[in-house]
């Protein structure tokens, strides 16, 4: 089929109408699921988590499958009992099975939440390990955010949950387990958001890595505390995590430099810049543009020199970039 004919078909009123209706349908489906914030009291602290639209749709879809399976199974059992004209004992057995099935429905939903939280927590632990951070220490050091909401569930006391919600002990234990895992995800998520996992520039090429190398000026081995990204002058430079600008200006050898404090002992440095677009004390968002690549200071050509420091010691930035790529791949 000729290309011009295909283009006419794709731009025809009918196709445009179908596209518009599909887009309206998508908006209708997504509208009831805006981003939501859930708060849980754990160990005397209020912790929260964010449910994105995508996560809610995934959970609803999974719940729908479980509910459909429950309904189909229940109807099958009832139809079998009616069609076979079973005796009273069989009818009683069917009713008992139905009651057990309905009693376990909510438990299945809570279990699904727990599985989702465990999976997310495992991915976040892997991310922290890739970045050289001990995930076991996160729960002790992370500060939960404050917020407003309704009654809070204390996950450490299943019996109290059972009495408050009028459910059996097994269901209460499932609720407590899910609440604990959600709380863990909240702490791990907060820890990963403070790590410099984003890329400092859109350029992929690197000219020098972290560690020992031959100094281009002296010709002797020297330690290189960061990564070099060659790029044209004024190529945008981005913050790699949220933080506060702690230094802007000229440092010996580095030329025009920006340093950002991300908390938790983490600091990033951007050097040899041609332009600085932020000021000391300014709060910076992740992937916010902070300057432009240049060749100031001890430099052989336009490039970004990027460093990651933790507790006063230089870290290999490549490790954090790989951890950020893992987070993106894991969704």
Cα Dmax for the chain: 96
The answer to whether 245 touches 260, Cβ cutoff 8 Å, is yes
Q: How many CB atoms lie within 10 A of CB 275?
A: 15
CB-side exposure of 278: number of CA atoms within 13 Å? Answer: 27
Distance, in Å, from the CA atom of 166 to the CA atom of 172, rounded to the nearest integer, reads 9
The SS3 of residue 207 is coil
- Beta-carbon-side half-sphere exposure of residue 6 (alpha carbons within 13 Å): 3
pLDDT for res 70: 75
pLDDT for residue 58:
76
Strands (E), 215-288: 221-224, 227-230, 236-238, 243-251, 255-263, 266-271, 273-276, 283-284
Domain boundaries 211-330, corresponding CATH code: 2.70.70.10
What b-and-e string marks burial along 201-220, b requiring 16 or more CB atoms within 10 Å of the CB? Answer: bebeebebebeeeeeeeeee
Q: Are 105 and 173 in contact (CB under 8 A)?
A: no
Per-residue pLDDT of the chain (331 residues; tens, 9 = 90+): 566 666 666 667 776 777 777 777 666 666 665 766 666 666 666 666 666 767 666 766 777 777 777 767 777 777 766 665 555 666 566 666 665 665 565 556 556 555 665 666 676 677 667 667 776 666 554 434 444 343 444 455 555 544 555 555 556 566 666 666 666 667 666 777 778 989 999 988 888 888 777 777 777 677 888 999 999 999 999 999 999 999 999 999 999 999 999 988 899 999 999 999 999 999 999 999 999 999 999 888 999 999 999 889 999 999 888 888 876 665 5
Domain limits, the chain: 36-193, 211-330
Instruction: Give the H/E segment covering residue 39.
Output: strand 36-42
Return the pLDDT at 249.
96
- 171, two tokens: 């269901």
Per-residue H/E/C for 71-125: HHHHHHHHHHHHHCCCCHHHHHHHHHHHHHHHHHHHHHHHHHHHHHHHHHHHHHH
Q: What are phi and psi of 312, to 5 degrees?
A: 80, 10
Contact at 8 Å (CB) between 193 and 287?
Answer: no
C-alpha 295/C-alpha 252 separation (Å) is: 13
- Give the predicted TM-score (pTM) of the model: 0.54
Q: CA–CA separation, 202 vs 205, rounded Å?
A: 9
Tell me the H-state helices in 202-267: none
Q: Do 209 and 193 form a contact (C-beta atoms < 8 A)?
A: no
CA-wise closest residue to 304 among 255, 261, 243, 242: 255
């Amino acid at each position: 089929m000729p290309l011009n004919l295909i283009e006419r078909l794709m731009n025809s009123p009918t196709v445009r109408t179908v596209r518009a209706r599909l887009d309206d349908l998508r908006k209708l489906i997504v509208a009831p699921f805006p981003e939501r914030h859930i708060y849980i009291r754990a160990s005397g602290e209020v912790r929260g988590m964010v449910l994105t639209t995508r996560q809610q749709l995934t959970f609803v879809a999974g719940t729908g499958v479980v509910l459909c399976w429950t309904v189909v199974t229940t109807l099958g059992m009832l139809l079998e009992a009616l069609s076979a004209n079973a005796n009273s004992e069989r009818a009683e057995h069917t009713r008992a099975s139905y009651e057990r099935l309905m009693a376990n429905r909510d438990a299945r939903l809570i279990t699904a939440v727990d599985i989702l939280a465990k999976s997310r927590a495992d991915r976040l632990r892997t991310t922290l390990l890739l970045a050289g951070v001990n995930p076991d220490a996160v729960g002790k050091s992370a500060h939960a955010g404050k917020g407003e909401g309704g009654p809070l569930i204390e996950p450490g006391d299943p019996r109290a949950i059972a009495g408050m919600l009028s459910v059996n002990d097994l269901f209460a234990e499932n609720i407590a387990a899910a609440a604990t895992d959600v709380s863990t995800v909240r702490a791990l998520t907060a820890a990963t958001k403070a790590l410099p996992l984003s890329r400092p520039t859109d350029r992929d090429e690197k000219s020098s890595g972290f560690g020992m190398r031959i100094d281009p000026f002296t010709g002797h081995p020297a330690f290189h505390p960061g990564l070099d990204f060659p790029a044209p002058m004024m190529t945008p430079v981005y913050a790699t995590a949220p933080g506060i600008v702690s230094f802007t200006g000229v440092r010996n050898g580095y030329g025009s430099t920006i340093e950002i404090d991300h908390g938790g002992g983490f600091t990033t440095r951007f050097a040899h810049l041609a332009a600085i677009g932020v000021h000391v004390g300014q709060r910076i968002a992740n992937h916010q543009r902070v300057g432009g690549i240049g060749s100031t200071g001890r430099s052989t050509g336009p490039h970004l020199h990027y460093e990651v420091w933790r507790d006063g010691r230089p870290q290999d930035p490549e490790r954090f970039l790989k951890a950020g790529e893992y987070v993106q791949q894991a969704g």
